Structure 1
Amino acid sequence: MVYVTNGGVRAGAAQFEHNGDVLTVCDIKADGFAVWGGLYLKETGNLLGEVYNNLTASACLGDTINLTEGTNVYVKVCLASKGDVAWATCKSSTNGKA
């Protein structure tokens, strides 16, 4: 799991679960921001799938992103507002596998 902060406090999180190929994005702080998560191909940096969570705090959304078993990936999570990702807030995981 990788976290994004707002004011030094964890505000959102994203995680890719290889068992089922699910990218889950959680909004964990009532701060007026949404949370965006993206799944990227490690070798190229290409975006494979994304989830935009604009639900209330303490809510998670997930989406299945079917990948070939063993694909090297990483997750990025960012704050967002009104559909726009605040790229300067993003945090990334090191790597994972599908």
Structure 2
Amino acid sequence: MKFRKTLSAFAVAVAAAGASLLTAPSASAADWWDYQMHTNDSDPGGRVRFKMNGDVVELCDIEADGWKVKLTIVHGFTGNVVDRMDVGGNGNCVTHSASNGHNLTEGQHYYFQIYLSKDGTPLDYDDSSDWIA
């Protein structure tokens, strides 16, 4: 009887292990974004991520350093500022997307510039990149 219970428990464990091997791994959050960039300080205080589908732009303050994270998005052809975002406070994020009125023209180049600001400093630790919407 004891042998039968042990054998049964072993069979359940093998079945559970086999089932976990058959399930597909889920994509990580980082895989969801098409582009990502951080501020250029030695221990980055800000991050911007962009997903082309839906024009989702997420700006986050990722360090408790007293600096506010800012982002400017400029249309690559016209040079017009199309969006500005800012957020402060470690762990706080702000999101703009096409669904809330921040639509970027598909296939166009946009210049994303992320930087930190504190006590009136306009632009510190900036990083920039051209991304396609």
Q: Scaled by the length of structure 2, what TM-score is found?
A: 0.62
Q: Is this contact kept in 2: 1:24–1:51, CA < 8 A?
A: no
Q: Is this contact kept in 1: 2:117–2:124, CA < 8 A?
A: no
Cα distance in 2, alignment partners of residues 81 and 71 from structure 1: 32
Structure 1: 5+ residue stretches without partners? none
Matched, 1:31 2:65: yes
Matched, 1:52 2:90: no
Q: Where has structure 1 moved over 2 Å in runs of 4 or more?
A: 43-46
Matched, 1:62 2:95: yes
Of all paired residues, the percent bearing the same amino acid is 29
Q: Is this contact kept in 2: 1:2–1:76, CA < 8 A?
A: no
Amino acid at match of 1:43: F
Q: Which residue of 2 aligns with 1:13?
A: 47
Cα distance in 1, alignment partners of residues 115 and 76 from structure 2: 18
Deviation, 1:89, is: 2.3
Count residues in correspondence: 94
Q: Which residue of 2 aligns with 1:2?
A: 37
- Structure number, greater radius of gyration: 2
The one of the two structures with greater contact order (alpha-carbon pairs below 8 A, sep at least 6) is 1
Cα distance in 2, alignment partners of residues 88 and 31 from structure 1: 13
Q: Which has the higher strand share?
A: 1
Structure 2: 5+ residue stretches without partners? 1-35
Cα distance in 2, alignment partners of residues 3 and 86 from structure 1: 17
**CA distance change for structure 1 residues 58 and 73 in 2, over 3 Å: closer, same or farther?**
same
Q: Scaled by the length of structure 1, what TM-score is found?
A: 0.81
